[in-house]
Structures are given as structure tokens and as C-alpha cells.
Amino acid sequence: MIKKMLEELNVPSPLEICGEKVKSVEEWKKIRPLVLKSMLENEYGYLPEEPKNIEFNVTENENGRFCASKAKYYTVEVSCTVNGENFTFPFSYVYPSKGDKFKTFVVINFRPDIPDKYIPTEEIIDNGFGCASFFYKDVTSDDGDFSDGLAGLIYKDSERSEYSCGKIAMWAWAAMRVMDFLQTRNEVDKENIYVAGHSRLGKTALLTAAVDTRFSGAHSNCAGCSGDSLNRGKVDGNEFIGDILDRFDYWFCENYKNYRDRDNETPFEQHFLHALIAPRKVHISSALEDVWAGPELQFLCCAAASEVFEIYGEKGFVYNDSDFLKPKYLHEGRVGLCTREGTHYFSRDDWHGIFDFFK
């Protein structure tokens, strides 16, 4: 059933971006830059260049007593040079007090709070993970103002071109700077650092891991249109590319406007992001009442990505047709899906799915 649905939607394959379908890891590695180029030039824009002179100022909080002394809690200030000027933003970093090397999440969040309604810090610690999180508006505003924060430094001497980065790419750039910090920490298991976000920040998490291979995987929570669900096959109640451009065109590059009202015709598809993360891990959370995000298209997006993982000899998205739109964890492959009851929210159920998948 699922394979037939994908065939009927005429979903493009990243393996065929040059025409003839590639069949080996070596061939995929040769065309992978073209797949990434397609996503950057058509949707998100090219990320800013790596900064110069990056430094980290670390301050300990709670005197070692955070979470009943189960965790260490720090505030970190990133300072670096962007386009000849200093740029600074803060993030929070928490990890278990006891143990050796910790798998760690980089969470792009809507608030700076620790804990937060979207970040159950003590549960993260109790499950043996560390967590570094930042407030996305500390990087640049969530609006069309390209003179604010990082955007103001990038565009101080120029205007945006058709491929210039939108705000999502800037938040992804900031997540990479948090990764720069984690690379300096002895307590971090550097083979298991994952990036996570909800909604627009779930889109950001997928882009981050697609671009930066230091991340061992990504979690996208209810990201929907232009994130973790297919463009093709949308129905009334789903969000279309035109809908998202009407309200949030500044998230994307200018070239993305060419695909308004062309959801079924895009030469790229959202599972290209999943494919770019292969053979690393991709985890999606989908809410059955979040019709705007298209839970059926999130399922299909995961299924469409499997072929790239399989080239590596890995299981991609493992499912039965009977699993379609059923509340459950599908975690047997490198592409995982947590489908749950409820609406658009980063819930504890989502986090329990994350712990199970990335354990």
C-alpha cells in the first residue's frame, strides 16, 4: 500500500538526481553534494560561513545542585567573528553528574528556560543524556527583519540573493556553533550527538544534520510542510508551500517562492533531508490531530527515504502497511517514527520516543 502511494505521487528519488539511479555508496557519495545543493538553492539558502575566532565563556549555575545534584548546569556564551564583527549568543548546557561519556542533544528551542515545557531536563538526565539548548531568537529574530542579530551581520553590506540564507539556515548555523563547543568537552560522547527541534525548529534540526555530518542524527517534531512531510499529495487541511510563504517566507531563500502552488511539481522532496543524513539516524514525531503538518505525509516521507539507507546496508524505515497512521513507535531502522495521539506540541510522549530510538 505505502509503496503504491509513493508511486502514484511520483515522488522523486535523491538517487536519481543525475538521471540514472545510483546503486552503491561510492556513487551516492559522488552525487550527495548535488542533492544538498538542490535543497539549499531551492529551499533554505546557503548557510553562513564558519565563524572566525570562536570562544566559549562557561559559567556554572546552581553550585552543582541542579536536579537534586544529579546534573551539572552551565550557561555558555559563544563569541565569534562574523563578517568582521563580533557576534555573541548564549546557550544552556546540562549533563549528568555521574558517569563517563554522555550522549547529548542539541535542542533548538522557543524559549531560554531550563527546564522548559518542551525540554524535560530532569527526564533527559535520568535517561542518561546531556542537553545543550538555545533560544532561537537570541540568534536572530523570527520575522522578516534581516538587520537583526546574525542576519544583520551577514547582510550588512549586501542584499539577499536568490540563494541567500533564510532564518532557518541561520538557526542551523547556531546549532553548529553549539556543536563546536561540545567537541571541546571530555564528558561528551562525540559519536552520539543529536540535534532536535519542534515545528519550524524541527525543520531546522533536519537541515542542521543534513549539512553538518558531526551530528549523529536528528529529531524533527511535528515539522510538517517544508520540513518532515512530503510536498506531494496534500489535501484540504494540510499546509501548502503557498500557505507557509504567505506567513513565513523569510525562513527560506528567495528562490523557494518559485514553488508556490507547485507542491506536486517540486524537483526535490523533503525526504531528501532524511537521505542526506544517511546512514546516521533520523527520528520524526507525528501527531494524529496535527492535520496541518500532514501526519500521513510524514509517514510517507520516512518511507521514501529508506532506499538511501539501504544502499549502506542499513535498515531504513521499517514498517508494515497496517502501521499507517497508528499510534506507535516504529524504531527498528535508522529512520524512526513516533506517531501519537494529540495535537501540535513537543510532548513527553515525543521525548520518550526519542529516548527509545537514540538509546
Contact 106, 133 (CB under 8 A): yes
Question: Of these residues, 199, 216, 226, 285, which one is catalytic?
Answer: 199
Query: What pairing do the DSSP bridges indicate for beta strands 335-340 and 328-330?
Result: antiparallel
Q: Is 219 a catalytic residue?
A: no
Pull the grid cell for residue 35: 542533492
**Burial tier of 320 (Cβ tally within 10 Å: 0-12, 13-18, 19+):** exposed
In the set 79, 97, 344, 352, the catalytic residue is 344
**CA 103/CA 129 separation, integer angstroms:** 5
Torsion of CA 80, 81, 87, 88, to 10 degrees: 10
Query: Known catalytic residue: 199?
Result: yes
Largest Cα–Cα separation, the chain: 60
User: Is residue 269 within 8 Å of 12, Cβ to Cβ?
Assistant: yes
Residues whose CB is less than 8 angstroms from the CB of residue 275 and which lie 6 or more positions away in sequence, other chains included: 14, 35, 305, 307, 308
Rounded to 5°, the CA angle 66-347-292 comes to 145
- Cell numbers for 195: 540535534
Listed residue (85, 88, 2, 53) closest to 298, CA to CA: 2
- Tell me how many degrees the CA angle 159-164-167 measures, rounded to the nearest 5: 100
CB neighbour list of residue 227: distance below 8 Å, 6 or more residues apart: 200, 202, 203, 206, 220, 270
Report the alpha-carbon distance of residue 233 to residue 9 in Å, rounded.
6
What the block records as the C-alpha cell of 308 is: 538511501
Mind telling me the catalytic residues? 199, 344
